[in-house]
Amino acid sequence: MKKRTLAAQAAIVFCAAVPSAWGAQGNAIVTGTVSDPAGHPITHATVQIQDPSGASIGTSSTDASGHFSIDGIAPGTYAIVVTAAGFASGSRIATAQSDTPASVSVQLQESATLDVQISAQRLNAARNGLLPETGSSVYRFTQADIATMPAGANTPLNQVLLQAPGVANDSYGQLHVRGEHANLQYRINGIIIPEPISGFGQSLDTRIIDQMNLLTGALPAQYGYRTAGIVDIRTKSGDAGNGGSIDVFGGSHQTVKTSADVFGNEGPFSYYLSGSLGMNNLGIENPTASANAIHDHTREGNAFGYLSYLINPLTRVSLLFGATSNQFEIPNTPGLTPNFALAGHSTFDSSQLNETQSELNNFAALALQGTNGGALDYQVAFFTRYSRIKFNPDPIGDLMFNGVASEDFHSNTADGVQVDTTWRVSDTHTVRAGVFFQQEHAVFDNSVTVFPADADGNQLSDVPFNIQDNSSKTGYLYSLYAQDEWKLTERLTLNYGLRYDRMDEYTSASQLSPRVGLVYTLTPSTTLHAGYARYFTPPPFELVSGSTISKFNGTTNQSSVTQNDPVQPERSHYFDLGVTQKLGSTVTLGLDAYYKKSTDLLDEGQFGSALIYTPFNYQYGKTYGVEFTASYKQDNLSAYLNVAYSRAQGKNINSAQFNFDADELAFISNHWVFLDHDQRVTASFGAAYDFHQTTFTLDGIVGSGLRSGFANTDRLPVYAQFNLGVIQHFNEPMIGKLDARLVVINAFNRVYELRDGSGIGVGAPQYGPHFAVYAGVTKYF
């Protein structure tokens, strides 16, 4: 309900001091008009006549010309109070006489934007209150942080996350947080977005981000299933006004990318829409050390939308949706020798292979979110996601080099509901609870062309034949959680809770998981946090295939190992301890240590020609490490440095064994081995300096090398990559607000290898990018 304005209150006080003939209903009339600041009439405005006590003694509304009339009132002096949707209320003083109608003109100031901002901020705060962080480690990226990276909003999301502590780089856009393979959960505006089928295209565009938090460590009970890291994205919106931008970006490797976004509001409705189209000749890491990859043309398209409608100041409904479509050529390695004979073909140039892969990912979520302005906040969201990957082999070349040409089509549909609530019981207790349900349906249609072979895999004929390997499966996830955030003292906060998870997929399993986190403010500049979490992590359903291994016995696609135990959920105990220290107002330091002990540790590998990952388990697993962070901010200079040490090991592969060689399985059954994505030391750094209208920026990553060799017993060399950027800001009468930037990737051209094609579940070599130059222009409206 709108509060009476100060002017209306003053008018009523004034009325009380004016002698009037208050009494029974009379024959006086009050007329007038209501308009906006431009003089346009305001229709359907509510007009009240109030007496000195504030009581309404007459009501009317304006017509199409903004006119109103109220008659049948007693002669006297009154306050005329006018309200209209999208405008601040207004008032005037009018003295009505029986023989002369009183006439007033009221002009209302627009306040829709302000109302939307206040209501949206209130609801945003309520939504943020649904997502606790107590006891976990949090690294934050703002829109400004991303804008000052060398490539700005054109930086792929995975490369933005590489600037967080403990995040290791890998090929095909893969990330490893604290020694885990993938296992990341993405949330947009508090809503879980089901993961797509793994590939190498980015499903989310960086430019949609207003703020992004990466939560790791011992997470509160709210977070389940994917727990290596929670990528919590708050998107841009139109709550603050109208605007948009157009961006053109391009350069080396024939890169061209055009992007645009637009945002705004109209009364209680607000919107944000974004889209991009691009192409380049380096969509996937080069398998050779050359500067330019062979057969690596890529086309990418991305769209995102967020629509919000304020039902009232305490309730809103929102719709978010996104679509990503990517087409990739698989890059080639020249000079390879064919391993199999194919009738009618004597040789094949490996540089002419024509393998391609297409990826599509669509998602949407409809949410009702509200607050009572004090004790209770809630969000109910319904979500859906459709994802598919199609791998097209080279029907001749793949047979001659691999003995297998497999056309693979994988799709997955996920639908579900997520409910989160917060109840502030008192000043010291905040209770949160919620439920989650998801149904998935996966389809695998594989058309595999092979040669006949003997028991040892030797080719028996040069005439291939085809085998259809099709399957489908529906699976379910269920979860409940409840937790209490208890402020034990002004300095000490405890968050404790329970989470129950159940999966009914290729296997059925469940777990009750306790969580506890502590935050202690030792001094105004020193904060300690500690936490313990029991985790339950189902294997990624969209990747677990129901393939029948026996179909390929007697072919060049047969496995030397026939065992195929089902992939199990990972169960683990996680411990985290950290401290944050502020040194004055400019420097913040952080130190965090963690230890994770797992049963049925989940990992993934690429075991076929298609760039699709397959999950498997180690019976035992352990991961531990320590992270150091430092940031500096003063005036026009900012900088950060993150250094992490990590160890990730597993023992005894106990599922999907057919993907491995017998000797490797035997070794791993009796030895702790490093996971293929284990990297002992990972570092990231960056800085930005503003000089008048110019920003100089740099960032970079350093790694001690991922694992390689038989059973991951070796590792690749140390690598480093430095990126530089210069951004020129314009705000001139003729061109308006515009940014121009120049970007240099791998400025010192340090050629490095991310993968060498060896190691557990590693399909091919991949090299990091060579020296490259890009330029871009962004025009703001």
pLDDT of 20 above 50: no
Residue 391: what pLDDT? Answer: 93
pLDDT of 254 above 70: yes
Q: Give the 3-state DSSP-derived string for 483-516, with helices as H, strands as E and coil as C.
A: EEEEECCCCEEEEEEEEEEEEECCCEEEEEEEEE
Beta bridge partners of 501: 479, 511
Which amino acid type is present at position 356? Answer: T
DSSP classification of residue 718: P
Residue 610: what pLDDT? Answer: 66
If we measure between CA atoms, which residue out of 89, 122, 129 comes closest to residue 315? Answer: 122
* Gap between the Cα atoms of 473 and 503, Å rounded: 13
450-473: pLDDT as tens digits: 999 998 889 999 999 999 999 999
* Gap between the Cα atoms of 496 and 132, Å rounded: 11
Average pLDDT, the chain: 90
End-to-end CA distance of the chain, in Å?
A: 35
Torsion sign (Cα): 444, 449, 452, 454: negative
121-780 has the same fold as 6-110: no
If we measure between CA atoms, which residue out of 647, 624, 221 comes closest to residue 432? Answer: 221
Q: Give the 3-state DSSP-derived string for 147-195, with helices as H, strands as E and coil as C.
A: HCCCCHHHCCHHHHHCCCCCEEECHHHCEEECCCCCCEEEEECCEEECC
Starting from the edge strand earliest in sequence, which strands make up the sheet with 209-216, in order?
Answer: 137-142, 209-216, 229-235, 184-188, 191-193
Name all contacts of 144-150 with Cβ < 8 Å and 24+ positions apart.
Answer: 146/206, 146/209, 148/638, 148/688, 148/695, 148/697, 148/727, 149/686, 149/697, 149/699, 149/725, 150/697, 150/698, 150/699, 150/723, 150/724, 150/725, 150/741, 150/743, 150/744, 150/745
Read off the pLDDT of each residue in 66-95 and give the average, rounded to a whole number. Answer: 84
266-291: pLDDT as tens digits: 889 999 999 999 999 999 999 999 99
Q: Give the 3-state DSSP-derived string for 425-437, with helices as H, strands as E and coil as C.
A: CCCCEEEEEEEEE
The pair phi, psi for residue 208, each rounded to 5°, is -80, -10
Taken as a whole, the chain contains a residue count of 781
Read off the pLDDT of each residue in 66-90 and give the average, rounded to a whole number. Answer: 84
How would you classify the pairing of strands 376-392 and 570-583?
unpaired
| pLDDT confidence band for 7 (50 / 70 / 90) | very low
Chain-centroid distance of CA 562 in Å reads: 39
* Gap between the Cα atoms of 363 and 358, Å rounded: 17
* Gap between the Cα atoms of 526 and 520, Å rounded: 9
| pLDDT confidence band for 536 (50 / 70 / 90) | very high
159-184: pLDDT as tens digits: 999 999 999 999 888 899 999 988 89
Name all contacts of 587-592 with Cβ < 8 Å and 24+ positions apart.
Answer: 587/630, 587/631, 587/632, 588/629, 588/630, 588/631, 589/628, 589/629, 589/630, 590/627, 590/628, 590/629, 590/630, 591/626, 591/627, 591/628, 591/629, 592/137, 592/165, 592/217, 592/626, 592/627, 592/629
Could you write out the DSSP letters of every residue in 244-268?
Answer: EEEEEEEETTTEEEEEEEEEEEETT
DSSP classification of residue 6: H
Residue located via tokens 């208050």: 22
Q: Where are the domains of the chain?
A: 6-110, 121-780
The Cα angle at residue 704 between residues 703 and 708, in degrees rounded to 5: 115
Contact between 204 and 157 under an 8 Å Cβ cutoff? The reply is: yes
Task: Report percent pLDDT > 70 for the chain.
Answer: 94
Neighbours of 11 (CB within 10 A): 23
DSSP classification of residue 456: T
Beta bridge partners of 185: 230
Return the structure tokens found at 624: 């531990």
Could you write out the DSSP letters of every residue in 74-125?
Answer: -SEEEEEEEE-TTB--EEEEEEE-SSS-EEEEEEPPB-HHHHHHHHHHHHHH
Q: Tell me the three state secondary structure of residue 220.
A: coil
* Gap between the Cα atoms of 663 and 199, Å rounded: 29
Pick one of 2.30.110.10, 2.60.40.1180, 3.40.50.740, 2.40.170.20 as the CATH number of 121-780: 2.40.170.20
* % helix, strand, coil for the chain, step of 5: 10, 55, 35
Contact between 704 and 718 under an 8 Å Cβ cutoff? The reply is: yes
Residue 19: what pLDDT? Answer: 37
Number of helices (H) and strands (E) in the chain: give both, helices first.
6, 41
Residue 101: what pLDDT? Answer: 80
* Gap between the Cα atoms of 217 and 767, Å rounded: 31
Q: Give the 3-state DSSP-derived string for 530-546, with helices as H, strands as E and coil as C.
A: EEEEEEEECCCHHHCCC
* Gap between the Cα atoms of 780 and 262, Å rounded: 10
Sorted by sequence, the CB contacts under 8 Å of residue 409 that are 6+ apart come out as: 388, 389, 390, 391, 443, 444, 445, 446
Q: Give the containing element (helix H, strand E) for 359.
A: strand 356-371
648-680: pLDDT as tens digits: 999 999 999 988 989 999 999 999 999 999 999
Read off the pLDDT of each residue in 374-393 and give the average, rounded to a whole number. Answer: 93
If we measure between CA atoms, which residue out of 51, 47, 77 comes closest to residue 59? Answer: 47
194-246: pLDDT as tens digits: 877 765 557 889 999 999 999 999 999 999 999 999 999 999 999 878 999 99
Read off the pLDDT of each residue in 138-158 and give the average, rounded to a whole number. Answer: 93
Return the structure tokens found at 375: 């004790």
More confident residue, 380 or 9: 380
Return the structure tokens found at 619: 């019976």
* Gap between the Cα atoms of 433 and 419, Å rounded: 8
Torsion sign (Cα): 419, 420, 424, 429: positive
* Gap between the Cα atoms of 394 and 406, Å rounded: 9
What homologous superfamily is domain 6-110 in, according to CATH?
Immunoglobulins (2.60.40.10)
Question: How many angstroms separate the Cα of 201 from the Cα of each of 155, 285, 298, 303, 323?
Answer: 13, 12, 10, 14, 12
Chain-centroid distance of CA 64 in Å reads: 47
Residue 732: what pLDDT? Answer: 86
If we measure between CA atoms, which residue out of 288, 302, 100 comes closest to residue 208? Answer: 302
pTM of the model: 0.83
434-447: pLDDT as tens digits: 999 999 999 999 99
Residue 196: what pLDDT? Answer: 78
Range with the lowest mean pLDDT among 85-94, 179-188, 323-332? 85-94
Alpha helices (runs of H) in 575-709, residue ranges in sequence order: 662-670
Q: Tell me the three state secondary structure of residue 402.
A: helix
* Gap between the Cα atoms of 469 and 549, Å rounded: 9
How would you classify the pairing of strands 90-96 and 67-73?
unpaired
Task: Report percent pLDDT > 90 for the chain.
Answer: 71
Chain-centroid distance of CA 434 in Å reads: 21
Question: How many angstroms separate the Cα of 529 from the Cα of each of 49, 139, 516, 532, 561?
Answer: 59, 14, 11, 11, 47
Contact between 538 and 506 under an 8 Å Cβ cutoff? The reply is: no
The Cα angle at residue 441 between residues 439 and 442, in degrees rounded to 5: 140
Residue 127: what pLDDT? Answer: 74
Contact between 285 and 606 under an 8 Å Cβ cutoff? The reply is: no
